Structure formats: structure tokens, C-alpha cells
Structure 1
Amino acid sequence: MREVAFIKQNKEKWLSFETAVFNNDFKNPDELASQYIQLINDLSYAQTYYPKSKVITYLNQLAAKAFQKIYKTKREDRNRIVAFWKTEVPLIMYQYRKFVYIAFIIFTLFTTIGVISAANDGEFVRSILGDEYVNMTLENIEAGNPVAVYKSGSNWGSFIGITVNNLRVGIIAFILGVFGGLGTVYILFKNCIMLGSFQYFFYEKNVFWESVRGIWIHGSMEIFAIVIEAAAGLILGASILFPGTHSRFTSFKHGAKTGIKIVISTFPFTFFAGFLEGFITRYSQEMPKMISVGIILVTLGCISYYYLIYPFLVTKKLKEKLIPIVA
């Protein structure tokens, strides 16, 4: 069958299914699962006979959305809060994983620009961080504690102030996605340039590893969370620019709802990062290297697992659950 004929034959069925999924218009889980199996059959057929077709992308996205709906209708997990982080968010992250990858690519690109700029312009760091902060850091390096700035203030005061600021940055990064994602990219640019130039500054002063042991104790979760929040902003922007078969307003509402869920999912990581910065980072130079490095690896590993690996495991498990549902 030619691709055009294949699409024409199934178009109405797909659009009907898409509308039902989007509006949660299903009488029972079995009905949704049954129609989902038909969709998977069409997807498999398209992958076999039209491997380069855009229809594969469309059917993949529709199938991912159906996964969420099927899982929501299951009665196994009655704790809504637990289900949110255990199932709903991972399924969303799987469906929109390309936006996460794009956010990380942008993060890497802008951070690299910050490093290169600092390496080629001796005054670049001062123009980004300010003379006062740079001079204070130089004094701390001379005193043998490059990250002594994290010892300023009380534990609780630092924790609260830092956490509130990080939440603010993440929320703003998401909200500014309403400008077609450009506002989100700007927030990433601003923070990544600062990060890249700051880390190069420590490298230039031969205290790079000392700074890593301090900054990244809390920075692993803090910065990773901001990238995820930026991905939510990009999703919001894409929902406006590319509404697909829906009205632009309907697509925007869906993108906003999805993005808000992603942003909320980062809050526990942001709170924990704030706790580490307020209570642990200040002791990074005194603690054994193995402990500081261990904290960095564990925190980075936890948040990476949740957003990059766990979504695939949840999706795989859901696929397996579909078999007995339609048997």
C-alpha cells in the first residue's frame, strides 16, 4: 500500500483517537487500550514500510499520550501524590524527552561559550560577575579556601534564600517560554555564561578541583533542575508555535499544564540542593575528598536516573501491562 493511501485510510481513526485521548473521553480503560493496540499496529506497519515518514513521529507522540491515559485509569496506585512522581512525571518526561535533550544541548553550548569567552578575555569574568564578587573570590583563593563564599550567613538563612532564588529562576525560565521559547533560551544563556566563565576563572587560578568539590555538591541537582525547567519552557513555547491538529489556544493550555507538572517535579530536587548549599557545601574543603566527591556522584546520579533513565523503565513496564488489559 502506498503511504498516501495508508494515511487516507486511517486518518479519521487517528484523529478520532487523538481527540478522545486529548479530552480524556473514554468510558473505560479497556476501550482506550483496545484502540491503542490498533494504533500500535499502524505504527509498526508505518515503521516497516515507511521508515522515513513523518507519520511515524505523529503516531509515536499519540501513543505516548495514550500511555499516560491508560496508566491514569488503573486503580493500582490510589495515592495521587505518589503516583504523580512515580508514574505521571516519568511518562511525561518520556513523551517530551527530545525537549530535555535540546535543553541539555543548549546548556552545553552556552556554558562552552562562557568558558571560551573567559579564556580569551581577561576582563570577561568581571563583566559577568562584577568586580566585588571577583575580588572577594581572589581573596578567598589567597586564603586557601576558594569557595569560602558559601560559609557566609547562617545555615538556615542560606538554605531559605538560596532555595527561593533557585525556585524563582526555574519558574521564570518556564514562564518565559510563552515567547516561543526565546525567553527560556535567554535565561539559560544568562546562567550558562555565568557558570562557564566562573568555572574557567577557578581553572585559571589553579583551584579548579577545589571549586568543583564545593560548587557541585549542591550544583549537580541545582543546575540539572534548571535545565529540566528550561525544557518545560521549551515545551510551552512549542505548544504555541506548533499547535498541530488543535487550536493554538487548546495546544497552549495543554503545553502549559504539561510544563507546570514538569516544573513542580523539580521542586524536591531544588529544595535538597538548597539544603546542601546551606548546610553541607560550607564544609567541602574540610571534609575528606571521597565524601565530597561521593555526594556529587550520588546527587547527580539520582536526578539523572529520575529524568533520563526511569522514564524509559516506566514506559516499558506500561507496555507490558497493556498485554493483559486487552487479552
Structure 2
Amino acid sequence: MREVAFIKQNKEKWLSFEKAVFNDDFKDADELASQYIHLINDLSYAQTYYPKSHVITYLNQLAAKAFQKIYKTKRHDTNRIISFWKTEVPLICYQYRKFIYVAFIIFFAFTSIGVISAANDGEFVRSVLGDAYVDMSLENIEKGDPVAVYKSGSNWGSFIGITINNLRVGIIAFVLGVFLGIGTLWILFKNCIMLGSFQYFFYDMKVFWESVRGIWIHGSMEIFAIVIEAAAGLILGASILFPGTHSRYTSFKLGAKTGVKILISTFPFTFSAGFLEGFVTRYSNIMPNWLSVGIILSTLGLISYYYLIYPYRIQKKITQPSLLSTVYS
């Protein structure tokens, strides 16, 4: 069958299913399961006979959305919280993976601007970080403990204060996405400029490694989470700018709902980063290199796997027709 004929033959069925999925217009889970089987069959057919067709992307996205509905309407007991992080968020991250990639590209670009600016302007670091912070850091470097700032305050006090601040930054980065994404970019810009100039400052003071092995114990999760939160803000902004086939209001509601889910998914990582900063980073100067590097690589690996690799594995599973039998067993 020619591709045009295949699309023409199934177009009305797909559009009807899409409308039902997005509007929760299914009478029961069995009806959803039955329609899902037909959709997966069409997807498999398209992958076999039209491997380069855009219809595969469309059917993949529709299947991912339907799969989320299946997990929500399973008739046996399930842990909603576990399924949220285990299945729903990864599928969303796969569907909106381009926004995550764009957020990382912007992050590296803005951070590079901070590094280059600090390298070419001796006063730039002070203008960004403030004289008090720079002078304190210089004193700590002279004392042989460049990251001594993380030892101030109690463990629990630091953990709570830092975590609340990071949650606030993440929420603001997302909410400001309502200004067509510009607000999100501004928050990301400010934080990246600070990060770039901050790290260059330690490099210029010949204590770059000492700063890395301390700061990035908590920074790997903390910074990564901010980038993901920025991606959520960009999704919110794009839902207003590019409503597609939906009304702008409907598109905004869908974008807000999707963005909130991604935002919430970062909270455990933000809490973990706060815990590490309050209880572990302060001991970085006395722990062996292998331990500090191990913590950095493991935390970075964990959050990278969850947002960049795991979504592909979940998406691959839902394109297998046999999966439905395990979901509804």
C-alpha cells in the first residue's frame, strides 16, 4: 500500500483517537486498550514500510500519550507516585527531548560567555559575584581552603536554606516561561554567567581542581536540575507561541501541565543536591580524590541517565505490541 493511501485510510481513526486521548474521552480502560492495540499495529506497519515517514513520529507521540493514559487507568492497584517517575516523566522527556537539548545548548553558550567575559575583564568577576564574596574567597584561598564557604553554618541549616533557594530558582525559571520563554532565558543567563565567571575565578587563582572536586559534589545535580527546569519553562513559552492545531488557551494548558510535571520531577534531585552541599561538600578538602570524583561522576551519571537515556528505553518499550499484555495482565 502506498503511504498516501495508508494515511488516508487511517487518518480519521487516528484523529478520533487523538481527540479522545487528549480529552480523556474514554468510557473505560478496555476501550483505551483496544484502540491502543490498533495504533501500535499501525505504527509497526509504518515503521516497516515507510521508515523515513513523518507519520512514524506522529504515531510515536500518540502512542506515548496513550501509554500514559493506560498507566493511569489500570484496574489493579498501583503506586501512582512510582509510576509518575518511572514511566510518565520519562515519556514526557522523550516527547519534549528537543527542548531539553536546546536548554543544554543555551546553558553551555551562556556559561561560555561568563568564562570569556571573566577572562577578558579583570573586574567582571567582582561585578557579577560582588566584592564581598570575591574578597572572602581570596582569603580562603590564601588559607589553603578555596571552598571553605561551604563549611559555614550548621549541616541542617545549610541543607534547608540551600534547598529552599534552589527550589525557588527552579520554580521561578519555569513560571517565567509564561513570558514567551524570555523570562526563563533570563534566569538561565544570570545563573550561567555566575557559574562561568565563578569557575574561571578559581582557574585564574590556580585552584581550579580544588574548586571542582568540592563544588561539583553537589553542583552536578543542582546545575543539571536547573537546566531541566529551564527546559520546562521553554515548553511553557512554546505552548503559547506555537499552539499548533490547538487553540492558544488549550495549548497553554497542555504546556503548563507538561512543564509542571517536569518541574516536579527535578525536586528529588534538588533535595539530594542540597543534602550533599550541607553534609558532604564541607568535607571535600579532607576526602581522597577518588571519593570526591566518584560522588561527582555517580550523581552526574544518575541524573543524566534519568533525563537523557532512560526516556529512550521507555519509549522503545511502548512501541512493542507485546507490552500491552504485561500492562493489563
TM-score, normalised via structure 2 length = 0.91
Structure 2 distance, partners of 1:174, 1:14, is 32
Structure 2 distance, partners of 1:79, 1:293, is 35
- Relative to structure 1, is the Cα distance of residues 2 and 240 closer, same or farther in structure 2, using a 3 angstrom cutoff? farther
Listed as ranges, the matches of 1:240-319 within 5 Å are 240-318=240-318, 319=320
Verify the 8 A CA contact 1:217 1:277 in the aligned structure 2.
Answer: yes
Verify the 8 A CA contact 1:213 1:284 in the aligned structure 2.
Answer: yes
Letter of the 1:67 partner, please give it. Answer: F
Listed as ranges, the matches of 1:32-181 within 5 Å are 32-44=32-44, 54-75=54-75, 78-181=78-181
- 35-44 or 155-164: bigger deviation: 35-44
Q: Counterpart of 2:13?
A: 13
Q: Counterpart of 1:199?
A: 199
- Relative to structure 1, is the Cα distance of residues 165 and 38 closer, same or farther in structure 2, using a 3 angstrom cutoff? same
Verify the 8 A CA contact 1:129 1:194 in the aligned structure 2.
Answer: yes
- Relative to structure 1, is the Cα distance of residues 324 and 274 closer, same or farther in structure 2, using a 3 angstrom cutoff? closer
Q: Secondary structure at the match of 2:146?
A: coil
Letter of the 1:253 partner, please give it. Answer: K
Q: Counterpart of 2:323?
A: 321
What is the aligned length? 327
Verify the 8 A CA contact 2:71 2:83 in the aligned structure 1.
Answer: no
Q: Tell me the alpha carbon deviations over residues 255-287 of structure 1, each in whole angstroms, 9 at most, x when there is no partner.
A: 111111111111111111111111111111111
Q: Tell me the alpha carbon deviations over residues 167-211 of structure 1, each in whole angstroms, 9 at most, x when there is no partner.
A: 000000110111121211111111111111111111111111100
Shift of 1:55: 4.1
- 48-57 or 10-19: bigger deviation: 48-57
- Relative to structure 1, is the Cα distance of residues 77 and 262 closer, same or farther in structure 2, using a 3 angstrom cutoff? farther
Letter of the 2:119 partner, please give it. Answer: A
Letter of the 1:150 partner, please give it. Answer: Y
Q: Tell me the alpha carbon deviations over residues 134-161 of structure 1, each in whole angstroms, 9 at most, x when there is no partner.
A: 1111111111111111111222221111
- Relative to structure 1, is the Cα distance of residues 120 and 302 closer, same or farther in structure 2, using a 3 angstrom cutoff? same
Shift of 1:50: 5.9
Structure 2 distance, partners of 1:296, 1:290, is 10
Letter of the 2:65 partner, please give it. Answer: K
Q: Tell me the alpha carbon deviations over residues 43-69 of structure 1, each in whole angstroms, 9 at most, x when there is no partner.
A: 455556666654443333222212211
Structure 2 distance, partners of 1:177, 1:197, is 25
Shift of 1:8: 4.4
Letter of the 1:321 partner, please give it. Answer: L
Verify the 8 A CA contact 1:77 1:83 in the aligned structure 2.
Answer: no
In structure 2, runs of 5+ residues without a counterpart are none
